[in-house]
Every structure is written in C-alpha cells, then in structure tokens.
Structure 1
Amino acid sequence: MSKAITVVGLGSGDPDQLTLGIWKILQGASRVYVRTKEHPVMHRIAAEGIAFESFDSVYEANESFGDVYESIARRIIELADQGDLVYAVPGHPMVAEKTVLLLREYAEAADVSLTVLGGESFLDQAFVRLGFDPIEGFQLLDSSDVTSEHIRPSLHTLIGQVYDSLTASEVKLGLMDVYPDDHPVIVGHALGVEGEERILRVPLYELDRLEGYGNLSLVYIPRSEDEALRAGSFARLHEIVNMLRSPGGCPWDMEQTHASIRKNLIEETYEVLETIDEDDPDHMREELGDLLLQIMLHSQMEEEVGTFNVYDVIRGLNEKLIFRHPHVFGDSAAGDAEEALKNWDAMKAEEKKRKGLSEPEASLLDGVPRDLPALMKAYKIQKKAAKAGFDWDEVSSAFAKIEEELGELREGLAKGADSEALKLELGDLLFSAVNAARFLKIDPEEALSLVNDKFRRRFRYIEDRLRERGSSPQTSTLDEMDALWNEAKAAE
C-alpha cells in the first residue's frame, strides 16, 4: 500500500483565490484532513460536498500550540499508514505553518512520500491590502516571538498568529520595549475576504483593547527611519562609536589609543560601583552606559586593524557562558550556588586544557588580574590557594596570624627598621586581616568600603557642627573633634 501525503494550502481566506489545481485535488481525494475548519474557504468546500475531518479537537486537548502542532503532525503520519491522504492548511503550507515543517521531518523518518503544494499566503493579501512593498525591507514575526531582539523598526513588520486579545496583549508588551506607547499600529482581520475584512489603525496602547481577533488576524507596523526608535539598539551604538572614530568624526575620539583611555576604564568601573553602594538605579543606568562606552571604544580600535570587533566579543562571551554553565545548558546538575561554582571552575579548567596549557605551566593562581586593587587581589589569591588545601583549619589560626604579624610590625618599628621593611610587615598584617575576612565569609573590599563611608559620614558631621560654631577642623583641637565624633557615633 502506498503511503503518500499531499499538503495543500487553502489560501488567505477568499475562496475565489483557491487555485484550480488544489480544487481538483480536494475534489478527487478519498480522504481529506484539515488543521482547522475555522477558515472561510471551508464553507465553500463543505458546500461542494467534499468530506473532511478537522483537528480542532486537538486544540482543546493540549495546553500549548507546540503540543497541538506536534500531535497533529504525528497523527497525520499514522493516518498515512492507511493509504494516501490530503492535508489542507490555511494560507500557504510553508508560511507560518508549523505542522508542515514537522511533517517534512517525520515523513522522511517514516518513509512516507510528502508533496507540498502552495497556496495564496496571508502575506500576499497583506502586501496588497496594506499597501507596502517588501523589497523595502520586511520581517515576519510570530506573535509568540515579539521581543526587542527581533524587532527592527527600519523594516516593515508583520506579526501573525494574533489569535485573541491575550495574544495581542503579549504582542503589545513586546512592541512597547521598542516603540512609544502611542506609536501607530495597524490591525488587519481577514484581509482580502469579502464582507469580513477589517483594517484598523490604533495607538499601540490600545492594541489589546480591540475586539474581533481570530485565526485571520495580524498586526502591521510600517517601517520607520525615526532615529528615536533606533536609539535603544546595540547596532546603533556600534554605528555611533564607529562614526566617532572615523575620518570626519570626533577629533578627541580619533586620537585615543588603548593606553590613553586605559585609566578611563578603571574610573568608570569605580563610578558604577559607587552607584551600587548608593542603591541609585537611575545613576547606575547612566554609569553603566559610560562603562559600556569604554568597551565599545576598545573593541572599535581592534576592529579598525582587523583583529576582532565587538560582535566577536559578544560571541566569545556567549560561548563561554554556555560552556561554563553545563547545569543550565547541558546535562550536569547544580542544586545550589556552591555546586554551580564548582561546575564553573571545572569547565574553566577544561578551557585551559583546550587552549594547550599543560599542568606544569598552569598555576592555580592564574586568572587573578595583575592590576586589581591590592585588597581585592589578596582575597582572590587566598581563595584560589585555599581550594588547593593551602589554608588554616579554623578562623582562630587566622586571628593568631594577625596578632603575630602585628607583633612583628611593632618589633620592626622598635628596632628602627627602614621603611621598606616596615612596608612588608604592614603588608603581612593586611594580608592576614584579609585571610580572617575570608574565613568569616566577608568580602574585605566591601567591608573596608563600608568603614570608609562610615568615617566620611562621621567626619562630615564634625565639619557641619564646627561650621555652625564658626569654626573648622583646621582651627579646632583634637579633643573638640573627638567629642563630636562620639556624638556622630551615638546618633547612628
């Protein structure tokens, strides 16, 4: 027995647009199945006496459209075991028709012959009824895939599969990430179907307040060259930085090198950290932008000499994140943050092997940036050494080491040691304090930052009170300032 499936498209909705060839196939078929009978052409097919079975019941039996399409495709393959059949779908079989894509995959695996015959797509009517030429730039999105990453305002945008108000609401929220709330959008219902077509132009915020959504509904946003719409795109940022560095751009930006703006990267990083400490989201947003600019400038400099560009940077980061999170993107598991960190470290070690670093050449302390602030660097070095077992057994040993180093510093001072020797002794004391912080699971950088802020608040209190008295720190005694310090301390 032959096993053959013929897939035909029922067009956009106007029965007169159905091709003669497809009419003949439907009329001559012994078995006809349709994905849904909720399509204008189905009335004409029924009137012609063509018997068919629909899969509308499958929609009710499944919780997601993905499950619906999967169930229909697999059922069609099963039915093909009983002989040849025709499967009819709305529109064009290869435009926004997931069941046909699945059928192409399953039919090959099941050794079933599959023929796909086109039909008028809803795109054909959209081009005509909405009046735009796709050659100007065009994108087709599914209603479930409307995100800022996919939306490009410079292209004519059609969004299909807008079945109901809930779907329209999800589309609206996605579009609002790019367009202003009152941006004009066009809703089309049953385009090209006589007596049923409706074309409505509304502000974006009203998109889900309309009635009449169904299987033949779509949303259209005309292309726009409005610079304000591109302002939120990464591509626009890349373009701007390129223009700043190009001939005719900004003289200052054109003169910069990696070395000349090296300090800017550090300064901008610390300004971001300040906004985090202040818990100031608006300021943080601005400072993160300044930090991103430094990354863009360094990447642009390399793009100009052909080594890499910022998209290579992003690609490398994406690959690293996926590789180092096997518990998210692979088969590994991580029940808590500690297990996740172990996975990260294991994959990081694997990366080193793949880069050709043999074990004798690699150090456990590799990866600690040379130019980190000393306090932060000490913390990271100690953490790496501790992973290899080079560590105290308990925090009391760390405290004892602090006392030992403090004693050596006092001894050196009493014996008149030179400044270099005292510097090393003081460094040992600070390094031991960092060790204690690590045992207490306290970031020493964060702890010292909190104390710095506390000192600034109390000293500012002293300045303010002295100013009220017509005085200043420079003209006051230590006892006066110490008394005000205690006031500030008591007031906290």
Structure 2
Amino acid sequence: MPGITLVGLGPGDPAALSQAARDALANGQVFLRTRHHPVVIQQAAPAGRPAFEDLLDSDTPLATVIERWIDTLLDAARTDAVVYAVPGNPLVGDATVRVLLQRAEEAAVPVNTIPASTVVDAATAALPPSALALGVQVLDTLDLALAAEHAPFGGGEAALSPLQPLLLTNPGPARVMAAACETLARLYPDSTTLLVLNHTPTGELHSVETALGSLADATGDMLAIYLAPVSPLESARHATGLQRIVARLRAPGGCPWDREQTHQSLMRAGIEEAYEVLEAIERDDAAALREELGDLLLQVYLHAQIAEEAGEFTLEDVIGDLSAKLVRRHPHVFGEAHAADASDVLQRWDEIKRAERAERGVDEAAHPLGQIPAALPALMRAQTVLRRAVRAGLLPFDPDMLQSRWRALAAGEEPVSAETLGDALLATALLAAEAGLDAEQALRERTLALEAAIRGHTAATPDDLY
C-alpha cells in the first residue's frame, strides 16, 4: 500500500528491534537517515539503500538538501510502500522527520510510525544520574547546522538554552558537525567539555569526553552528544543568563548600588550609553560598539527588572510587545502585503500606527504629530516635528518664509535674536528633512571634523576643515 512508514531503529541494540520494524525493513522500499547504525548494518543491507547522509557531500545548502530528500520520499510513497529508517524514535529529535510530517500532510500522503526506544533512554543509562535531572533539550544536530548556514540571518533559529542540559541527536557527517559547532560556539564557552556517546557494532554505548573546539573532528559511530548546563556566572552568552545576573544584582543581598537604582536615577545613564554607542559607530570601532551595545542593553534589563519588582511589567512583556509590533507593522514581510520601496514602508507604518492609536481610543485629530519624546535634542525634535507636519499637510506657514528669513539673517539684513536664530535653525531642519538627511547627525559630523582640525593644528583656519 502506498505511503510512508517511519521505523525507529532504537539507540543501537539490534536485539531490541521490534518484529514490526524487522518486517518493515525486510519488505518495504527502505530509505535511511544514516548507514552508520548497528541495526542498519545488520538488518537493512545498507549498501543498496538510499541514505540522507549521501546528499550531504555536496555544497548544496542544507535546507535545499532536506527538501530534495523529502521530495524523494514523497515521490516514492505515491506509488510504493516506503520505509524511512531513523535512529532512536523517529518522532523524537529528528529534523528530517519533522519536515517530512509537515510535507506529507500537505500532500495527503499517509504516514505510519513504528516506534522504538529513544536516544534519551540510552543517554539516561549512559550518563551520570544527575546529568538529566533538570530535564533535557533534545535537538537534531542538523538543526544547529541549519542555523549556522543561515547566518547572519539565522539568529534564534537554534532554539536552545545553554542553561539547560542538551542532547544532540544524529551527529555527523563532517559538514553538519562543523556547522553545528559554529552555532554551539555562539552560546557555550570555549572551555566547554562534551560527552560523545558512541555505539559499538553490538549496540553497546560508551562515552568519550571531547572539547568543544575539537568536536568537528570527532570520529566514530556517534549516537548523540551531551552538553551539561552552563552557569550564567561562568558564561552568560544567552539572554536568560544576563537576566539572571541582573536579577541577582537587584535581589536582597545583591549589589547595594544596583538595589538603590530607580527608573528616574537611571535616566542620565541611558542617555549617556546611547551617545557612547553613537560615538563608537562614528569611530567605526567594532570592538567599542560591541561593548557599548552591552552597556545600553544593561539599561533595558535594569529598567525591566525594576518594573517587575514594582509589578508594572516584565522583560518578557517588553520583548513580547516589541516582537508583536514588528510583525504587525511589517505585513509586507510577515503577511501578504506588498511594499515597492522604503517610502511605501514608511507610509504603511504611519497608517498602521494611526490604526493602533484608534484601537486604543486615542483621538487622531487631537494628536496630529503623534508622540515625540520631550528629551530629544532640539534640532532632532525640530526635524521630527517638521517632517510629520509636512507629511500630514499641517505646516502652519509657507516653507519659503523660513528660507527667506534664513537668507536675511545670513546677509545681516535682520538682527540676530532668539526668534530669528530659531527660525534659521528651523529652516535648516526643514531643508534636511526635504533632502532626506539627518540634521542632527550632519551637524555632529561637521562639528567633530572641526574639533579634529582644531586639535590637530595650533592655528586652524577654515581651509583646514574645508
């Protein structure tokens, strides 16, 4: 009967293979996840069977390799009884099965499962009793490799936390291992030691300690890889680790200075950290930018922790609100809408913001400019007000009036006063908005250039700058 039967091969002991699995391997059109498994070697005549790992020798992207493999299985299953033999239990920790189940449902191809003991069962017997006491994350090594291959746009794809025990299934071949190690290196310290669980031809397991940096070169018939949880104090390369550290600083018995801080007392620090980020960007100093972004991120975590203590909101609320907002305001990315260019994006962004305010009961007519932070620098605030007013058709004067006043002031035809100088600065901000430039940044860059010229020359002249 056409369709697919997923056969669990178990952790490796051929004697533990069920009779149903033996019958399926003997009678169906067999496809293998790997040839390097004791049951496959003894029961499934691996030399003549197609195997997923055979497709991994090329430079084809891994996601494409998986899709082509699933296409092969589904095409065969439309006319024949297909058996897909997978280490362990096929429904636990296998990335190819996950994709296959989704695609099979879409294609209306029936799928049956013959279960077996999981890799977790074998690991429980092979590892120390305390190793899995905190629960365990089970991931296919292929998932980590996919996340690495999708870099720099694969952030967050590997849904794992180094603060919890991790068991990686289906290790190998070399290409997958090398890419998976790249993902692990983003989250675990270089000093991390792993346990590689190998199975012998008879299905017995033995563990070998391996350094993270050497994992890509590991050899043998690997069944799984175990990584112990990492303390956030040892290596907080994960958002949750940083959250725990900040909470500890604020907790009773923590840091006296951190415990005294409030939203208000941290206001100046937030501004200073933001400007230090800008300074690192202006210097094109990646190392400094990395450090300053961390300092700015600390402000977010501190404010969220203070708010949680007051019962206002949590860090998860902040992240959840932001994530929902980004998805909601980018329907051209996460939905069916279309945006031809950046101007279309901005127009849609404004429309969505207005709809959001209307849902909250905010009178749009009463707030034509929206919310503009009062703490913005004056020139930046001026450009924001002018840009929004022009876009909404609400500018209360002829823009040429500002330009005329600016020229009159420059020509000495009007006295310099707070009013005339303010109009001149408004004219500059309007000119920047019309040109798509950032007036604040333009002035900052020219001021820095002037300062450098002055510091570099005892007697600086305009020629030194221009």
With normalisation by structure 1, the TM-score equals 0.76
Map 1:443-482 onto structure 2 (within 5 A): 443-461=438-456, 465=458
Determine if the alignment matches structure 1 residue 434 to structure 2 residue 424.
Answer: no
Q: Deviations over 1:238-261 (max 9, x none)?
A: 222222322222333323322232
Displacement of 1:173 in angstroms is 0.9
**Aligned equivalent of 2:115:** 118
Map 1:51-450 onto structure 2 (within 5 A): 56=51, 63-69=64-70, 71-73=72-74, 75-76=76-77, 79=80, 88-97=85-94, 116-131=113-128, 133-146=131-144, 149=156, 150-189=159-198, 191=199, 193-194=201-202, 199-212=207-220, 217-225=223-231, 227-229=233-235, 231-363=236-368, 365-389=369-393, 399-404=403-408, 411=414, 422-450=417-445
Residues 127 and 134 in structure 1, CA contact (< 8 A), matched pair in contact too: yes
SS in 1 for 2:460: helix
Call closer, same or farther: CA 1:98–1:394 in 2, change over 3 Å.
Answer: same
Call closer, same or farther: CA 1:352–1:77 in 2, change over 3 Å.
Answer: farther
Partners of 2:4 and 2:440 in 1: CA distance? 68
Displacement of 1:390 in angstroms is 5.4
Residues 6 and 85 in structure 2, CA contact (< 8 A), matched pair in contact too: yes
Partners of 1:392 and 1:401 in 2: CA distance? 16
Partners of 1:42 and 1:274 in 2: CA distance? 60
**Aligned equivalent of 2:17:** 18
Partners of 1:32 and 1:54 in 2: CA distance? 11
With normalisation by structure 2, the TM-score equals 0.80
Residues 3 and 78 in structure 2, CA contact (< 8 A), matched pair in contact too: no
Gaps of 5+ in 2: 148-154
Residues 34 and 89 in structure 1, CA contact (< 8 A), matched pair in contact too: no
Partners of 2:138 and 2:104 in 1: CA distance? 27
**RMSD of aligned alpha carbons:** 3.9
SS in 2 for 1:249: coil
Equivalent residue pairs, number? 446
Q: Deviations over 1:309-337 (max 9, x none)?
A: 11111111111111112222122233433
Partners of 1:57 and 1:160 in 2: CA distance? 15
Greater mean alpha carbon deviation, residues 12-21 or residues 300-309: 12-21
Q: Percent identity?
A: 33
Displacement of 1:26 in angstroms is 4.5
Partners of 2:191 and 2:113 in 1: CA distance? 42
Amino acid at match of 1:242: A
Partners of 1:138 and 1:376 in 2: CA distance? 50
Mark the structure with the bigger radius of gyration: 1
Call closer, same or farther: CA 1:315–1:249 in 2, change over 3 Å.
Answer: same
Residues 139 and 169 in structure 2, CA contact (< 8 A), matched pair in contact too: yes
Displacement of 1:103 in angstroms is 6.9
SS in 2 for 1:181: coil
Amino acid at match of 1:344: W
Partners of 1:225 and 1:322 in 2: CA distance? 33
Call closer, same or farther: CA 1:354–1:296 in 2, change over 3 Å.
Answer: same
Amino acid at match of 1:66: E
SS in 2 for 1:177: helix
Residues 276 and 292 in structure 2, CA contact (< 8 A), matched pair in contact too: yes
Partners of 1:109 and 1:333 in 2: CA distance? 26
Q: Deviations over 1:426-471 (max 9, x none)?
A: 2112111222233333321112112322332344346xx4xxxxxx
Partners of 1:151 and 1:289 in 2: CA distance? 21
Partners of 2:52 and 2:265 in 1: CA distance? 68
Displacement of 1:55 in angstroms is 5.3
Amino acid at match of 2:31: R
Partners of 2:361 and 2:121 in 1: CA distance? 55
SS in 2 for 1:95: coil
Gaps of 5+ in 1: 48-52, 414-421, 466-483
Residues 141 and 160 in structure 1, CA contact (< 8 A), matched pair in contact too: yes
Partners of 1:353 and 1:406 in 2: CA distance? 45
SS in 2 for 1:159: strand
Residues 382 and 435 in structure 1, CA contact (< 8 A), matched pair in contact too: yes
Greater mean alpha carbon deviation, residues 69-78 or residues 119-128: 69-78
Call closer, same or farther: CA 1:181–1:301 in 2, change over 3 Å.
Answer: closer
Partners of 1:279 and 1:112 in 2: CA distance? 55
Amino acid at match of 1:129: A
Partners of 1:60 and 1:253 in 2: CA distance? 54
Residues 449 and 465 in structure 2, CA contact (< 8 A), matched pair in contact too: no
